[in-house]
Amino acid sequence: MQSKIKTYNSEDFRKEYFNANPKLDKLFKKSVEDFFCLRIEDLSEGVLKPIHPSREESHTLIYVTEGSYKTNIGFQEFTISPNQIVVLQAGAVFSAEQISKNMKGFTCHFHPNILVGKFGNRYLVSDFQFLNNGNYPILNINKESKIPILNLFERLVTEFKSAIKPNSDIIHSYIYTLLTELKIIYGLNNFQRQNASFNITSQFRMLANEKVKENLKVADFAKMMNISPNHLNKSIKISTLKSASEILDEIKLIEIKYLLYQSTLSISEISYEMGYLDPSYFARFFKKRENVSPTKFRELIEKS
């Protein structure tokens, strides 16, 4: 019987697959929650064993500057060569038989919550289509983009390794800048599979973002799109491996987090703003998906 694929946070993943390293442990202890950016050479020496099929709660960008990196994502095998970036989206199943000791480059790992900050909004996040599960892009870094992207990775490494706790505002702004650069490259590389399922999923995401505060159901969106709820669900499942309701909940959660972070509205006011007439139902919706209450989430933000 096939064992269940385990989902890790960054700390548990390091403990499972990497040797203990006092220097790195010290770095991770002072970091902002579930973020790191390091040179691949800093990590590759400590790899304990092949990475079995796993999921992580966070996104990971692996930028290869020398050597190559082989990985399986979903049901596909990829080889990442110099001047390429592979995007391992949060929740995607990945594995790696071996990590070459000769490979150089960067790995930037960040929880989706990192994108909730002073500089973010749901429209920006929805533009980063390469972070959506199911795309699995390899981005080719052209000559014009190489220097600025290298500089952004270097700046994130420097901030992660800073003598004091990394500045979350700096991390937010540089990650947004990096993702915006990659969005341009993603468009130029034209990795989007323009099939019917992809187009339906894109239309659904656009409508869900536009009407996020109306607390609509999947069936409401299917009606707007003149297709059946079953066809909508099937198309989204093909493109993302998720159901339409899961995507809708993700979009709602992003907006709720922005309101908790960026506004002074009370929890009840945010509930009404999002179309929930019952604040207790709203709180249960949030806690079920985030494992903390909206009040606790706001407290964690204020402490970070």
Is residue 113 predicted with pLDDT exceeding 50? Answer: yes
**CATH no. for residue 127?**
2.60.120.280
Q: Are residues 168 and 225 both part of a single domain? A: no
Specify if 1 maps to a domain.
no
Q: Which of 189, 209, 230 is the last residue of a domain?
A: 189
Single pTM value for the model:
0.75
Q: Are residues 54 and 113 both part of a single domain? A: yes
Q: What are the tokens at 123?
A: 């429209």
For residue 116, the cross-strand partners are none
46-97, pLDDT tens digit by residue? 776 778 888 888 899 999 999 988 888 876 788 899 999 999 888 888 888 7
Q: Are residues 202 and 158 both part of a single domain? A: no
Q: Are residues 103 and 71 both part of a single domain? A: yes
Taking residue 50's Cβ as centre, other Cβ atoms within 10 Å add up to: 11
For residue 139, the cross-strand partners are 85
Q: How far is Cα 107 from Cα 34, in angstroms, rounded to an integer?
A: 13
- Residue 282 pLDDT grade (very low, low, confident, very high; cuts 50, 70, 90): very high
Residue 43, Cβ density class (10 Å: 0-12 exposed, 13-18 middle, ≥19 buried): middle
Q: Are residues 65 and 175 both part of a single domain? A: yes
254-277, pLDDT tens digit by residue? 889 888 888 889 999 999 999 998
Q: How far is Cα 274 from Cα 260, in angstroms, rounded to an integer?
A: 12
If one counts the domains in the chain, the total is: 2
Q: Are residues 243 and 138 both part of a single domain? A: no
Q: What are the tokens at 153?
A: 């990775």
Residue span of the structural domain in which 135 resides: 6-189
